[in-house]
Amino acid sequence: MLKEETIWIRNILINEFSINDFPLLNLGSSTEKFRRTTQPYIHKNIFSPLIKTKKKVFHSDIKNEKGVDLVGDLNNKSFRDKVKLLSIKSILCSNMLEHLSEPHIICKSILEVLPTGGKLIVTLPLQFPFHKDPIDTMLRPTIEELHNMFPATKCIDSEIVLSSNRYIDDLRANKKYYFIMLMRWITPFYKYSEWKFIIKDFFNRKENYSATCLLLQKQ
């Protein structure tokens, strides 16, 4: 997640959410270590303020690790039924859809557990390199395209959030990674379907990272 993206989410939570919009389900939350150590600005900007104001958040992921409150797949009906019992009022789904082969299915599942009037914060990379977890479909939607993935919702706020960081900056900061990618750029015969994305990243290496960020409300 981009640092600037976490600031956008923080501001949405401050300006557009009330106590009635909680509990919040953090879908695809990853682990406590990821939120606090790997990308500490996630906890600092998003979850620390919620903890301080005693707002309830359920972290959900398929990984059964520390910091995950609900372990399961939202596309599984029994897990959805379990989530519904928690009286979730809002959902945060950040940088998850690009890692699913059929994102439209999880979009439908999200809308099923979100009550009418419930709020959904959804973000996806727009300009960002190919990154597998465990796959990357290179879903990089515009605001309109992302909104269309969630029918019967109203868009309350949206923004293309621009980062100060670029791919070339990350490459220069990690010489070993730079060398690995250099070797990958010149080997199109290895996993050609992935190489097509990777070589595109090379030509976009001087572009600033960006993310498509939306606040939606179920109608």
pLDDT of residue 22: 99
Task: Report pLDDT for 106.
Answer: 98
Q: Which residues, given as ranges, of the chain have pLDDT below 50? A: none
> Residue 1: helix, strand or coil by DSSP?
coil
Range of the domain at 87: 3-165+209-218
In a domain, 21, yes or no: yes
Cβ–Cβ under 8 Å, residues 83 and 24: no
The reply to whether 70 falls in a domain is yes
What would the two tokens of residue 195 be?
């190489």
Residue 112 lies in a domain: yes
Which CATH number covers residue 103? 3.40.50.150
- The pLDDT, as a whole number, for residue 154 is 98
Whether residue 170 lies inside any domain: the answer is: no
Q: What is the pLDDT of residue 105?
A: 98
In a domain, 139, yes or no: yes
pLDDT digits (tens, 9 = 90+) for 103-160: 999 999 999 999 999 999 999 999 999 999 999 999 999 999 999 999 999 999 999 9
Q: Is residue 9 part of a domain?
A: yes
Domain count, the chain: 1
- CA-to-CA distance for 77 and 112, rounded, in angstroms? 10
Query: What's the pTM value of the predicted model, to 2 decimals?
Result: 0.95
